[in-house]
Amino acid sequence: MGAFFRFDKIRRVELAEVSELVLYHGAIRTMDPSLPLAEAVWLKEGKIALVGSSAKVLAAASPEAERIDLQGRTVLPGFEDAHLHFGEYGLLLQRVDLRGASSLSAALERVRLALREHPKGEWLQGSGWDHNLWPGAKRPSRYDLDQVAPDVPIALRSKDGHSLWVNSLALQLAQISASTPDPPGGQILRDEAGEPTGILVERALGLIVRHIPKPSKALMERALRLALREAARLGVTSIHNCEGPESFAAFQELAANGELTLRVWHMIPLEHLSSALALGLRTGFGNSLLRVGHVKIFADGALGSRTAEMLAPYEGSDSDRGVATLTTEEIYAAVRDAAQGGLACAIHAIGDAANRRVLDVYERVKKEGWTGALRQRIEHVQLLAPEDLPRLAELGVIASMQPVHATQDMEMADRHWGRRARWSYAWRSLLDQGTTLAFGTDCPVESLDPLAGLYAAVTRQRRDGSPPGGWYPEERLSLDEAIYAYTMGSAIASGEEREKGSISPGKWADLVVLSQDIYRGPPEVLLETRVEMTIFAGRVIYRAE
């Protein structure tokens, strides 16, 4: 007979290799409309065998099954992050982390500390700086870094990933000078004398990045292992990874070794589209652990760097409309070619002009008959013109969005977009039009924690409760809607809704157990909640201490 035990005694029992498990006396939010709320679930051989009342499930389960009394805790489908950079996150855990640095001096102090143990002659890398948070909101320069480290090449990505801050040695190694032209879709920022300031934006980043040695195979695998540990701690059991061949190869290695503890939908960078088409790869190819996903394309830049492409100039400017990283015809050719080869596209679009151009391309390709059953996406969808709001649903385009962006970026949005910000991060408006929302974090741009995203989605407030009532509160979602976007919505975005996304019989047993019932009490309960247990394919991969 399988053991019965209370949830608060779970640490005494080793569950990692349990083949059958029953969770009962819980508040199980299934995200399945046929049975939205249940008390118990039976997990068998990696799949969900039965969902229902505690009495029904306990009576049906095998005598050998372990049984856990949840004592009213919430159980959800495992969270599925629909947009992140997983390998980069793992690498960041080993690099200079500038997230939250409140001033230039604070950022430089972190660089100075990192240099103490940094191997001589190697590039020092890091990310996360945000000059918008610094007094005066002034961009840093190469001369600031030169004061700290004139003899080590340094490359630091901004929080939004669309700007790179380097020192003079890095510019020298990349042979970038006053005479170096801006590449198409990118810009080398310059001072009044025409000299590079040490800030490069959009496609100009490549001028530096190509000179930085790529992570070794061992380093990338270590990065993924570190990130996997954090994902399990936060209840993330599936991801849509926006990276290239290095991380894809490392994921394959971990999968072959039985180390992969989440399901990976791996995107293809646009620069590898021709190779993917030549190989005959199609979106969805792979197995339940690792699949070929969408082709990742960039239409514009980012809000923080003022490179998001706008229909009208930024506030305070007569001409600055951001950066179109690709022309409309270039986007069209890529989407058409991908669709003809069976590959769906996921296109980064922040500004209202970029989103309109992407929608125009998707509409054109669909009318030409190439889209078929492919599920096209827009990544971020941060600002839409009101007349474009219905178009995503009309075209069947999925809105892949990141709730925490709204609360983190709201002051920048107000400053740069003014009244247009009313239609930014418009989750409610899009959902009411019938658009499928797929939520993620854009980690490491934002925290990997899904509970933080849920709080942002239902309140449009920061953790301190600001602003009172929420920023454009008419765009808030209900808790059910937000969780659905983090689970079923993301599964729909990858075409895997028959395998995961809800706690339904026959689907993979990927679940998360929370420390309390998050449906009882105000939204602030989400901030007080932690993941108690993460289950992947019926196996417990994380238990809180």
pLDDT at residue 25 greater than cutoff 80: yes
Q: At which residue do the structure tokens 């600002």 appear? A: 383
**Which residues on adjacent β-strands are paired with residue 201?**
163, 187
pLDDT at 6 over 80: no
Q: What is the pLDDT of residue 14?
A: 40
With a CB cutoff of 8 Å and minimum separation 6, the contacts of 468 are none
Tokens of residue 304, six digits: 């923080």
Question: Rounded CA gap, 246 and 93, in Å?
Answer: 17
Going by pLDDT thresholds of 50, 70 and 90, the confidence category of residue 289 is very high
Phi and psi torsions of 58, nearest 5°: -60, -35
Nearest by Cα to 26 from 49, 2, 1, 58: 58
CATH 3.10.310.70 fits domain 96-209: yes
Provide the CB-side half-sphere exposure for 235 (13 A, CA).
26
What does the alpha-carbon distance between residue 157 and residue 535 come to, in Å, rounded to a whole number? 34
Cross-strand partners of 165: 156, 199
Cα separation, 484 vs 481, whole angstroms: 5
pLDDT of residue 111: 95
Where does residue 465 rank: exposed (0-12), middle (13-18), buried (19+ CB within 10 A)? exposed
Cα 414 from Cα 416, distance rounded (Å):
6
Q: What is the mean pLDDT of the chain?
A: 94
- On the question of pLDDT at 544 being above 50, the answer is yes
Q: Which residues, 6 or more positions from 305, have their beta carbon under 8 angstroms from its beta carbon?
A: 158, 160, 162, 163, 201, 202
Average pLDDT over residues 54-69: 95
CATH architecture of 4-77+509-543: Roll (2.30)
Mean pLDDT over residues 65-83, rounded? Answer: 97
Domain boundaries, the chain: 4-77+509-543, 96-209, 290-493
Mean pLDDT value across residues 198-212: 94
Backbone angles phi and psi of 172, in degrees to 5: -65, -45
Q: What is the pLDDT of residue 17?
A: 54
* Residue 276: predicted pLDDT: 98
Q: Which pLDDT tens digit goes with each residue over 100-125?
A: 899 999 999 999 998 987 877 789 99
468-495: pLDDT as tens digits = 999 999 999 999 999 999 999 999 999 9
In this predicted structure, the answer to whether residue 529 has a pLDDT above a threshold of 60 is yes
Which superfamily is assigned to 290-493 in CATH? Metal-dependent hydrolases (3.20.20.140)
In angstroms, rounded to a whole number, what is the distance separating the alpha carbons of residues 306 and 315? Answer: 10
Query: 388-402: per-residue pLDDT in tens?
Result: 999 999 999 999 999
Flag whether pLDDT at 377 surpasses 50: yes
Task: Report d(CA 475, CA 471) in Å as an integer.
Answer: 9
CA-nearest of 320, 435, 432 to 376 is 435
pLDDT for 214 equals 84
Confidence at 526, pLDDT banded by 50, 70, 90: very high
Please enumerate in sequence order all residues whose Cβ is within 8 A of that of 196, keeping only pairs 6 or more positions apart, or say none: 142, 171, 176, 177, 178, 180, 188, 189, 190
* pLDDT, tens digit (0-9, with 9 covering 90-100), for 323-372: 999 999 999 999 999 999 999 999 999 999 999 999 999 999 999 999 99
Residue 430 contacts residue 381 (beta carbons within 8 Å): yes
Q: Give the tokens for residue 239.
A: 């991801």
Residue 1 or 163, more confident = 163
